[in-house]
Amino acid sequence: MSQQSWEELYSIALEWTKEAGTYIREKMKNTYGVSSKANQNDLVTDVDRDVEELFKKKLKECFPDHRLMGEEGSAELVNDLKGVIWILDPIDGTVNFVHQETFFAVSLGVYLNGVGMIGIVYDVMNDEMFSALKGQGAVVNGTKLARLGEVHLNEAIISMNAGWILKDRRLEYFVNESRGIRSYGSAALEIAYVASGRLDAYISFALSPWDIAGGVVLLSEVGGIATNYEGNELSYLEKDTFIAANPFIHEEIIRHVHHKS
Ligand code: IPD
Ligand code: CA
Ligand code: CA
Ligand code: CA
């Protein structure tokens, strides 16, 4: 595809994401079905499924040769990264969506042969749209995000889930050495926050491709770094450990989480 057509695709992806946000806000006014998947932390609602369906229908109609890798079912059909793949989390932060009715996002990454071309993370209730087209920088509601500047761990705000700290005591290092720890419950938004400098790093023990695909494109456009705990490239085909960080502290984080004893 030419640069011109990527720009077109970018504006279509933004339009569809906004449409999904409007749909979600509307559905929240009434009751909707909620069920749990693997465990009590893992919820899915009719709204998650509807949003995935919305993208599925639109893609079939407008770009039948593009594939959809969505959390709520369509990912099962995708086993390689060839061609154009829309990696979608219809609602990232479903527990927040159900319990808090805020702080959740639609997360979308459009990848070409495994390379992130478009990244979108839409905070539906705050109407904050983080987005990027590869090579053109990242924006939030149209305002350009600055490249990430120098930061030291003792002045860094790091986001991670309390459960991971209990599971992996090495993470206590960051509790002691950073300026503060936060935990928001939406991986996609937390990566977007690292890209916008509101956080300096986000660390997770296990994330899926749809949690990270949108955010990673934003992050690389501002000079941030995303890898797994070993410092290796992310695969986008399976769950992995995850670090999104300001480039000045990424290496130090790896030193403290990378172990294979
Ligand atoms: C979850 C959220 C959460 C993270 C979990 C994810 P979901 O996504 O991003 O913050 O800790 O690992 O699975 O299930 O709400 O889309
Ligand atoms: Ca889920
Ligand atoms: Ca998710
Ligand atoms: Ca989800």
Task: Quick: pLDDT tens for 144-170.
Answer: 999 999 999 999 999 999 888 898 889
Whether pLDDT at 44 is above 90: yes
How far is residue 252 CA from its own chain's centroid?
23
Distance 110 CA to ligand 3 centre (A): 16
Over the stretch 20-32, which tens digit does the pLDDT of each residue have?
999 999 999 999 9
Region 76-81: mean pLDDT is 94
Residue having the nearest C-alpha atom to atom 1 of ligand 1? 93
The more confident residue out of 1 and 238 is 238
Pair 200, 151: CB distance under 8 Å: yes
Instruction: Give the nearest ligand 1 atom to 187 CA.
Output: 9
Residue to probe by mutation, ligand 1, list 40, 41, 92, most atoms within 8 Å of CB? 92
Mean pLDDT of the chain: 96
- Is the Cβ atom of 211 under 6 angstroms away from ligand 1? yes
Asked if residue 195 has pLDDT above 80, the reply is yes
Nearest ligand 1 atom to alpha carbon 44: 14
CA dist., res. 45 & res. 35, Å (int):
6
Q: Work out the average pLDDT over 27-54.
A: 93
Q: From the CB of 214, is ligand 1 less than 6 Å away?
A: no
In which residue are the tokens 């990673």 written? 216
The rounded Cα 120 to chain-centroid distance in angstroms is 8
Q: What's the 124 CA to ligand 2 centre distance in angstroms?
A: 17
pTM score, whole prediction: 0.97
| pLDDT (average), residues 117-133 | 98
Name the pLDDT band for 41 (thresholds 50, 70, 90): confident
Cα 253 to the center of its chain, rounded Å: 20
Q: How many CA atoms lie within 13 A of 194 on its CB side?
A: 37
Higher pLDDT, 69 or 257: 69
Token pair, residue 169, equals 């005591």
> Phi first, then psi: what are they for 125, rounded to 5°?
-80, -30
Distances (CA, A) of 11 to 31, 90, 214, 215, 249: 32, 18, 15, 17, 33
**pLDDT mean over 124-150:** 98
Task: pLDDT band for 69, please (50, 70, 90 cuts).
Answer: very high
pLDDT of res. 198: 98
Over pLDDT 90: what percentage of the chain?
Answer: 90
pLDDT at res. 42: 84
In angstroms, rounded to a whole number, what is the distance separating the alpha carbons of residues 122 and 139?
12
**Residue that is written with structure tokens 């300096």 in the block:** 200
pLDDT at 259: 66
User: What residues are paired with 43 via a beta bridge?
Assistant: 36
pLDDT-derived band at 260 (thresholds 50, 70, 90) equals low
Q: Which atom of ligand 1 is nearest to the CA of 208?
A: 13
* Cα dihedral: 116, 12, 124, 44 (round 10): -70
Distances (CA, A) of 176 to 35, 105, 154: 37, 30, 9
What does 112-161 look like in DSSP terms, one character per residue?
ETTEEEEEEEEETTTTEEEEEETTS-EEETTEEPPPP----GGG-EEE--
The encoded tokens of residue 85 equal 């793949």
The pLDDT value given to residue 183: 96
The candidate with the shortest Cα–Cα distance to 195, out of 137, 254, 134, 141, is: 137
Q: What is the mean pLDDT of residues 121-137?
A: 98
